[in-house]
Structure 1
Amino acid sequence: MAAAYKRILLKLSGEALMGDDAYGINQSVVSGIVKDVAEIARLGVEIGIVIGGGNIFRGMAGAASGMDRATADYMGMLATIMNAMALADAFGHAGLTARVQSALRVDQVVEPYIRGRAIRHLEEGKIVIFAAGTGNPFFTTDTAAALRGSEIGAQIVLKATKVDGIYTADPKKDPSATRYTTVTFDEAIARNLQVLDATAFALCRDQKLPIKVFSIFKPGALLRVVQGEDEGTLVYV
């Protein structure tokens, strides 16, 4: 089955790399993510990835307690660079070519973010991992995903979570909760659905960039999403 999307922006949280560990990177989990991404890469999908740093920063939570917010945010950006490098290395071992572009300049280890170069990498079939968020404190990696997705001309932002979509209530607490198949941006606002943070959500809505919320841990879910099947929840204009 052909892919429904030519170019996507996949948003991965740092916590998605942890598995059941308290913090850090779980290699078996990373291997599973790489395998899923490889499946869609073989369909010819151009893949950009924005990754968070919560899994590494969580290990520094005690030291960061009471820290100035801007300083803590910059530390979090550095954590995303480490995650991006680890993910790129894992892609390399799987036979895929990945490039890391950082919004903070660390030229000795990764490329700086340059929009035209990122698009060229995508057109050449390389996976581009965007690190260091937007490069600014007070903005989340959700906002970075919306921004980079808009800049590279992605057709959709795929928000990878631990839950297989958006539900009417917390499915862990309410067994009767049902999953939304689709929901408009206006409906998501009216129902106070937690899709992305407010800044990222507003940017996606204004740019008419749809969001698909799905579980990265559900076998085959990413493939079904890019093939346009009923997987997760689609948020659209």
Structure 2
Amino acid sequence: MNSSINNYSNNILTNITLTLEKDENLIILGSNGAGKSTLAKLLCGITPSTDVTINNQKLHTLSAKERSKQINYIPPKLEIFDAYITVKAYLELSRLYATISVDEAIKTLDLKALTNHSCKTLSSGEQQRVLLVSSLLHGANITIYDEPTANLDPNRTIQVYKLLKSDSIKSRIIITHDLTLAYRLGYRIIYMKEGAIHFDGTNKAFFETENLKQFFGSSLKKIDNHFVVNL
């Protein structure tokens, strides 16, 4: 399955043209306010548009059920409308099209000890892990992850890296500021600035020295395949 946007603009995005081929994975990088999350919400239909196509069908013409089969958006923060819903109940509600069971999914990010806890009582990092596990249970053809490691410690980040590389996810779009994660995943990269795409190419090409200097100047240095702020 493929997804595309053709020459889309709004008050934040400018002349966005993007195609995601069947089974392709994508990383979206860029500074704060560059339009990354706006683009993600456009791709999954949260922001209505007639310019997004999935499998030669306009996204806005699909029913909510059909759209949910095609694409799923995982936000950076868990929003819960039921103050008392437990982790287990939330994940059971999340299971739509996946073949993996709830119990199997829980094991991927070590959530077993939290299954009977109310989602509202969890830390930000624990809530993020619940969101990530819910994506496995949803089972959409494309999953968009908005800052999937933002609230996680190094050990949990390693677990999420393994999840994002796993065959349990069909196709993924990952928005992140974590350059080491982006480099290790190895997926195609687009870099956004001021609402426009300034780079669209291979992972290897993006991490060439001249591109890093162009986008990050002297603020970044590479140490043993890790990217750190040059304080």
Task: Tell me if both proteins adopt one fold, taking TM over 0.5 as the criterion.
Answer: no
Q: Which has a greater percent of strand?
A: 2
* TM-score, scaled relative to structure 2: 0.34
Q: TM-score, normalised by structure 1?
A: 0.34
Which structure has the greater CA radius of gyration? 2
